[in-house]
Chains A and B, each alone.
Chain A
Amino acid sequence: MHTVRYEAPGTIAGALDIMASAPGAMVLAGGTDLLVQYQSGLKRPAVFLDVKRIPEMMAIVVDADGATIGAAAPAAVICADRTLQAWYPGLVEGVHLIGSTQIQGRGSIGGNLCNGSPAADSVCALIADRAVARIAGPTGTREVPVEAFMRGPGRTALAPGELLVAVRLPKPAPHTADAYQRLIPRSEMDIAVASCGVSLTFDATGTCTAARVAIGAVAPTPLLVLDAAAALVGTTVDPEALDRAAAAASAAAHPIDDRRGTAAYRRTVVGVLTKRVAALAAARAKER
């Protein structure tokens, strides 16, 4: 018979010790992916390693240079944070789309990242916002940009025994804003057919000086699309620039056919979303 233990250490070191001594341990954050996969037999942890008693992993810390969001902080807490709402409205939009109110009460950014879904709703905005994953492991800590953290469906940059502790976001520069949107077949409670997160920075004359465009659900991982960003930098984000960015996003996508949509449909939709989301980020940035 399969026996599983439950452990809830109070420190990162305690969690790493358990991971080292029990290689089959699996981190339990909100459990909204893990417990579903456990019930269906897809995952067989030796230990449910509950990390919610570790203060750093639950905390949201804002300082002069940016924000650190604990990997296990629930979506509901992230979405209610005034600084995060003001600095990263697009990230808050993405996190707010993760499931229902009940799922929001538990689901975390760490779980959204580590579950490794190409459609995970927090990830495109994290990439657009230049977020870095802070990882602790047996040999110390390291940082990985979120665009390099995702390695494929269900796969991440975490080595065995490593723990995602937090994501760190730089404070947005003046006249900078982000946005995120996804397309789903209904108005709530579904998985993205395609998604896009954008962050844009403007100078005082209204010219775009920096851009980050990330697309989701159209490749094995969310993608940072440098060509789409290059189409926007140096412009006022006018309709022609938006068309070029959209074409670049569609070209970068390499989606699959599934029951949510065909590859061709996804490729078109991700271009449309890129246009809309970039226009929204531009409008927000110009208000700042």
Chain B
Amino acid sequence: MSRLHIETTVNGEPAEFLCAADETLLSGLRNGLGLTGTKEGCGTGDCGACSVIMNDRLVASCLVLAAEAQGQSVTTIEGIASGTTLHPLQQAFLEEAALQCGICTPGFIVAAKALLDVNPEPTEEQVRYWLAGNLCRCTGYDKIVRAVLEAAGEMRSATV
């Protein structure tokens, strides 16, 4: 089968890769571009491990075709830190011990970033509802929610 040549923007940089017509964006990122930070949990939109931001909206990359990324802009977990400086969310996840095995963590951090982009001061309830599509088998969620609230506070105090 002939492969499609996709030109897109990933984490602010131009990127190109080849994919099959039915290949997912998740696969395009991991296998086409070698960006393996985005994880596959379920492949059916239920777990959020594959979360990326596409044109300012949070999506499950397992339910996006790689070909759809043509000319669009995608942010993955690899684009969250600035160089070697961790994003406040990443720092807070470490400090609050908000991860154990870690497979869900990139998805949670990307999803939480998308929340803080639109709502810098979320309530605990808003964080829990926003992250309802991200599943974690290990932590019991409390530490994750605390880390997101912590990072949000950190980011607000950094901007005043």
Q: Which residues of A contact B (CB under 8 A)?
A: 1, 3-6, 8, 28, 30-32, 35-36, 38-40, 48, 50, 52, 74, 76, 99-106, 188-189
In-complex Cβ contact of A39 among B44, B51, B64 (8 A): B44
| Chain A residue contacts of B57, Cβ below 8 A | 74, 76, 105-106
Cβ B21 vs Cβ A100 within 8 A: no
Residue of A4, A6, A39 ringed by the most chain B CB atoms within 10 A: A6
Number of B residues, CB within 8 Å of A: 32
Cβ A36 vs Cβ B22 within 8 A: no
Determine how close the nearest CB of chain B comes to the CB of A104; give it in whole angstroms. Answer: 8
Q: Does B133 contact A (CB under 8 A)?
A: yes
Cβ A6 vs Cβ B64 within 8 A: no
- Given the known A-B contacts A4-B21, A50-B68, are A39 and B59 also in contact in the complex, defined by CB atoms under 8 Å? no
- Given the known A-B contacts A8-B70, A105-B57, are A188 and B48 also in contact in the complex, defined by CB atoms under 8 Å? no
In-complex Cβ contact of B65 among A1, A35, A99 (8 A): A35
| Chain A residue contacts of B115, Cβ below 8 A | 101
Interface of B is mostly: mixed
Residue of B44, B59, B68 ringed by the most chain A CB atoms within 10 A: B59
Cβ B63 vs Cβ A36 within 8 A: yes
| Chain A residue contacts of B130, Cβ below 8 A | 101
- Given the known A-B contacts A100-B132, A102-B51, A102-B111, are A4 and B59 also in contact in the complex, defined by CB atoms under 8 Å? no
Give the residue name and chain of the A residue nearest to B115 (CB).
A101
* Alpha-carbon separation in the docked complex, A76 to B53 (Å): 13
Cβ B21 vs Cβ A31 within 8 A: no
Cβ A105 vs Cβ B21 within 8 A: no
New contact pairs (7) apart from A4-B22, A100-B45, A188-B129, CB-CB < 8 Å: A5-B21, A8-B68, A48-B65, A101-B58, A101-B111, A102-B111, A105-B58
In-complex Cβ contact of B45 among A5, A48, A52, A102 (8 A): A102
Cβ B132 vs Cβ A105 within 8 A: no
Q: Does B99 contact A (CB under 8 A)?
A: no
- Given the known A-B contacts A74-B57, A102-B58, A189-B133, are A6 and B21 also in contact in the complex, defined by CB atoms under 8 Å? yes
- Count, A-B residue pairs, CB within 8 A: 90
A-B CB contact pairs (8 Å), 17 listed: A4-B22, A8-B67, A8-B70, A31-B63, A31-B65, A32-B45, A36-B44, A50-B68, A52-B68, A74-B57, A100-B45, A101-B115, A102-B58, A102-B60, A103-B133, A104-B58, A106-B60
Give the residue name and chain of the A residue nearest to B132 (CB).
A188
Give the residue name and chain of the B residue nearest to A106 (CB).
B59
Determine how close the nearest CB of chain B comes to the CB of A82; give it in whole angstroms. Answer: 15
* Alpha-carbon separation in the docked complex, A5 to B1 (Å): 10
In-complex Cβ contact of B60 among A3, A4, A6, A103 (8 A): A103
* Alpha-carbon separation in the docked complex, A52 to B63 (Å): 15
Q: Does B122 contact A (CB under 8 A)?
A: no
Cβ B67 vs Cβ A35 within 8 A: no
Q: Does B76 contact A (CB under 8 A)?
A: no
Give the residue name and chain of the B residue nearest to A1 (CB).
B1
